[in-house]
Amino acid sequence: MTDDTATRPRALIIGCGIAGPVLAVALQQAGIIPVIHEARPRPDDEAGAFLNLAPNGIEALRLLGLDGTVVDAGTRTTRIEFYNHRGRRLATDPTTTLLLKRGALTRALREAAAERGVAVESGKRLAEVTTTAQGTVAARFADGTRTEGDLLVGCDGIRSAVRGGVLPGAPAPRSTGLVDSGGFSECPGLAPSGGVFRMTFGRRAFFGYQVLESGEVYWFHNSEPPAGAAAGELTSWDDNRWKDRLLELHQGDHEPIEEIIRSTRGPIGRWPVLDMPDLATWHDGPVGLIGDAAHAMSPSAGQGASMAMEDAVVLARLLRDHADADTAFAELERGRKPRVDATVRRARRNGDQKAPSSAAGRALRDLALPVFLRAGIRAGATLHSWTDDPNPSTAANLDR
């Protein structure tokens, strides 16, 4: 492609979370002009809790030269240890991942895109997407403004406005039957965990935590939602009431789970865990979806952000190599859907083990857990080996 901006394709990106900035940098490197449109008037880097970025996500960032920036924003998890409610270790996953607050990740990606000259327009809530007679894409925003591009990519998450506009028959996000909760604690009596993230299959709920060198504890909890509570009601519970619920659910589980919950400073986040049913297609002509907009998955596989980053790298390459966006989007689906659909299913299966509904169910689960976990660790190793690099010997490795 030519360097003449008058003839270079222009891509409209809706959403400036994780997928949007990564795609923008990838498109820029492919010779395409990206413009990000974000609904929020200003960034909210305090929203959300934290995540573990898997090796395949780090590899996607490495291919774009973004890995150093993101690694500097987090801390390494050197392995994950799994325990039962009595504190007996069941299995160990030796994979090194990157632990970081979601806001730190989105800020690092947004700033990296801006440093490379990517335009970000804030306060642009999408109202309508149409394809013009000339084959371009027009986006109209709630503030009355309008813009056009050669293609448009929805990077706007599980409740994607792009998906709702161009795929009106698409299914809605569905509940996995779990609530995700978490926060940050200071527990002076807890020593740093040396990079180990500990996860516990409790008697009634699931709990995970890592103690950083600073003494800060990152923790999360999964359980069934309160009986009769709709998703929107979770935020109406005050923190003390919610904390009491978590303590009740983890009563009888090994220490220091209750201590971590009691020591939490600041608000305790809580969200219904949703995923997306399989979509028949991720695109309509020159308008497509990537990341959570196309295939949101439960965090129980630790792959949502990494899969979005993979999507961005692959889509940029396909748009570079194909003359029209429709063909590139079709190739993206053909190449990516089997991998991401399998990961959505895997995440749901993992989640199904976290909150047994009866004592008998818990007993059966605990008997099967060692075999289940070892199989999951092997499957994870296959996921983690992804690269889009023609020279895979240079693939990223957080252990280096």
Residue 6: band (very low, low, confident or very high) from pLDDT cuts 50, 70, 90? confident
Q: What pLDDT does residue 264 have?
A: 95
Residue 391: band (very low, low, confident or very high) from pLDDT cuts 50, 70, 90? low
pTM for this entry: 0.94
Does the pLDDT value for residue 302 go beyond 50?
Answer: yes
List b or e across 109-145, with b for residues whose CB sees 16 or more CB atoms inside 10 angstroms.
Answer: bbebbeebebebeeebebeebeeeeeebbbbebeeee
Q: What pLDDT does residue 232 have?
A: 61
Is the pLDDT higher at 281 or at 45?
281
Strands 50-53 and 33-38 come out as unpaired
Backbone angles phi, psi at 58, to 5 degrees: -60, -40
State the residue for tokens 């013009």: 132
Instruction: Tell me how far CA of residue 337 lies from CA of 26, 48, 148, 159, 354, in angstroms.
Output: 20, 27, 28, 19, 26
Q: What pLDDT does residue 1 have?
A: 42
Of the candidates 397, 368, 383, the residue with the CA atom closest to the CA atom of residue 91: 368
Q: What pLDDT does residue 190 have?
A: 95
Residue 398: band (very low, low, confident or very high) from pLDDT cuts 50, 70, 90? low
253-274 pLDDT tens trace: 999 999 999 999 888 999 999 9
Instruction: Give the H or E element holding residue 161.
Output: helix 161-166
Average pLDDT score over the chain: 93
Report DSSP letters for 209-274, one per residue. EEE-TTSEEEEEEEEPPPTT--GGGGGGS-HHHHHHHHHHHTTTSPTTHHHHHHTEEEEEEEEEEE
Lowest mean pLDDT among 130-134, 237-241, 256-260, 292-296: 237-241
d(CA 340, CA 351): 16
60-119 pLDDT tens trace: 999 999 999 999 999 999 999 999 999 999 999 999 999 999 999 999 999 999 999 999
Query: What percentage of the chain reaches a pLDDT higher than 90?
Result: 80
Residue 2: band (very low, low, confident or very high) from pLDDT cuts 50, 70, 90? very low
Q: What pLDDT does residue 400 have?
A: 43
332-377 pLDDT tens trace: 999 999 999 999 999 999 998 888 767 787 888 888 888 888 888 8
- Residues 27-41 have a mean pLDDT of 98
SS3 364: helix
Name all domains of the chain by residue range, CATH numbers in brackets.
Answer: 10-173+283-393 (3.50.50.60), 179-271 (3.30.9.30)
Does the pLDDT value for residue 210 go beyond 50?
Answer: yes
Residue 396: band (very low, low, confident or very high) from pLDDT cuts 50, 70, 90? low
Instruction: Tell me how far CA of residue 198 lies from CA of 42, 77, 84, 192, 313, in angstroms.
Output: 35, 10, 11, 12, 31
| Beta carbons of 69 and 115 less than 8 angstroms apart | no
Q: What pLDDT does residue 378 have?
A: 87
Instruction: Give the H or E element holding residue 175.
Output: strand 174-186
Backbone conformation region of residue 396, classed left if phi is above 0, alpha if psi is from -120 to 50, else beta: beta
| Beta carbons of 207 and 250 less than 8 angstroms apart | yes
Which pair of tokens denotes residue 304?
A: 């949502």
| Beta carbons of 114 and 16 less than 8 angstroms apart | no
Does the pLDDT value for residue 124 go beyond 50?
Answer: yes
The DSSP code for 278 is: P
The type of residue at 385 is S
SS3 182: strand
Does the pLDDT value for residue 228 go beyond 80?
Answer: no
d(CA 62, CA 291): 18
Is the pLDDT higher at 54 or at 375?
54
Of the candidates 274, 219, 223, the residue with the CA atom closest to the CA atom of residue 246: 223
Does the pLDDT value for residue 51 go beyond 80?
Answer: yes
Q: What pLDDT does residue 3 have?
A: 53
